[in-house]
A and B are shown apart, each in its own frame.
Chain A
Amino acid sequence: MDSTLQSLIDIVDQIHVSNRQEELFIYSFDLGTAEPRRPDYVVSPDSAEQVQKILRLANRKKIPVVPLGGGLSLAGLAVPLHGGIIIDLKRMDRIIEVNEKARYAVLECGVSQAQLTSYLERHHPHLTHSEPGAPPAATIAGNLMIHGQGDLAQPYGFNSDLVNGLEVVLPTGEICRFGSCAIGSGWFTNHPLPDMNIFLGWYGITGIITKLSIRLFPAKRLRGTGQFVVDNEELVPEILFKLTHTQMAEDIIAYSRAIPPFSDGLQHFTVNIAADSEKELEWKQEIIWDDTLGDYIRNGDGAYLGFTAGLERPQISKTSDYKKGGGFEYVGSIMPVEKYPECYRTGREISERHNIPYTVTGRCIGAAHSMMFAWTYAFNRADPDTIRHAREALHETDDIVMKLGGVIWKPGIYGQKLILERLDPVTRELMKKIRNLLDPNGIMNPGNWEVNDANG
């Protein structure tokens, strides 16, 4: 038997290790437009110690390693560009601790967004977390690794800003802890120790997160979503600015899409509002819809579409069926809010040129400090031509993001190249030094964030 395969089986077990064609095929794919690349092995460990042993093995044999969470980034970030070992981390899915008083949760890296949501609803109904719009199988650790945002991004910022501590297996196999947990004081804060925040946004290159503590927030008794619409995209930035000024919303999203056809060209807002009493809810609604947006309604520029009690869980997967084809990918960007109109117009133009129903979305991060603006392109997995169009549209959009002064969110290889070409040379060199220091054999998710001669 292949000695690497045997070693992996010795570390984990027979069931959760494979080099058979079926596993290699399935794990070669991202769900977006990225070209598949076959790994040589797939392994699904159950503990940080097993991850540690796998990384030590990979270093000895100089085999590439690609960590995988929910596999839902859609940007090809866990495609094994140079083969090697895919480490599927989803078996490490224990919820280790929820601290009610200090409002945090300690989780293994394979815990899905949905699993935590459900656990809190069932056992700690006064607590919630910032849940992204991804499908429920997306992992919390995976979301941190790409600087994701959730439905509490408006009051609290990026999910990666909400980390209280990490356990990381370094590329060379050492298990390290960061934050208060590093001095045995529980997992309640990431500060005030010297900042060693070099793990988020690196796609696993600097280490594999195996445990994490994230902040939880009060879950109000009543939650719901109000809808507002305008027909002029130029109004969106000021509306977002005014809405964030109220500090009454949990989540603020502006979006526009071609389907259904009657909404084509309209700019919709969804505003999540939470309260502990009907009185509080009514008061917040009055401030938002009457005091803040009332003028738009009275002037005929906008309309209030009503309030729905309860939060409807996003079913983003439906986008994949726009072309009856099981696929979509989007370019996300972190963008100044004032850029919304240009983002909308360019996204629409690119989509129409590629015969794709347009879908654009902007989610407020912080008090309109920025927004995550996404351009979504559906494709038909069975039609190579639509995949090609989607890929071209994505690349064009990556270029647009840079031209508009934004930053590509969770960039794939093409977007990384654009960023690295523009990155401050000293910063770029520091990235290279950090990578070489932590991963001397270059085994960690190679092909991603590669600083080389081509980009400076």
Chain B
Amino acid sequence: MKARAFDYMRPKCVQEALEAFVGADGDASYIAGGQSLVPAIALRLQAPGLLIDIARLDELRGLSIAGGHLRIGATTRHCEILGSDLVREHAPLLAKAAPFVAHPAIRNKGTFGGSLALADPASEFPAMALALDAIIEIASVEGSRRVGAGDFFIDLYETALRPGELITAVYVPLATAKTRTAFDELARRRGDYAIVGAGIDAQMQGGFVERIRIAFLSVGSTPVRARAVEATLTGRQLTPEAIRQAQDVLGTELDPAGDEHTPSEMRRHLARVLLGRLLGRLEANV
């Protein structure tokens, strides 16, 4: 199908973009990479009267270190995350998840902020924002505010973003010498949406888990933290016994939806398998 007719503008700054949205009485959409928005418009699932192109705004670009955090400008593309030494050093979990994001051509245009704003529960970066306890910086004509990833993802494709608000940057706490991370996902074919995926960001000292955050993708209407599993593992060593217990707790904690290809029980089983693998890697520090 082809898109409905719409107007297009390329503002010179974030403020102009925000004002344009208000000026359109909300019948507008911001576009950056557009890798989900363009097909949605082409299929007429969305039909904004005005597209506000924010892809070239310098304010929204780039990777930098800022006050104990890695600042990821909202329009930083997936391929830039994948190729960044800063990300590898300071946010290794993102570097491990990035090769799993879509396909190369999509990664060349899709943006980090766009992925979070869409909040697809099967996407890697929203779940990783949760695992990293990232802070999401949001602008509107009223000013700027910050929301923790834990409060950002509300329901299926629903976030804390209010109409007209725009993600400007995401702040990820810097990895330390104690940081260990792991990411993997299970899919039927390369590049397909994962049946289940997970990322772990932990602080470990002398073999003991000081702090651990585990986030799953594709197991619910939002990315999901496995908080009961985290509580089970905190303060312990990742022994085979502890990992088995964590898998059992996960089996009771997760309640994934089933579909015609993947019954709920199968997805729960695969999540347990995946958790076991990831905790094994965390212990082995690979």
Q: Are A and B a genuine interacting pair, yes or no?
A: no
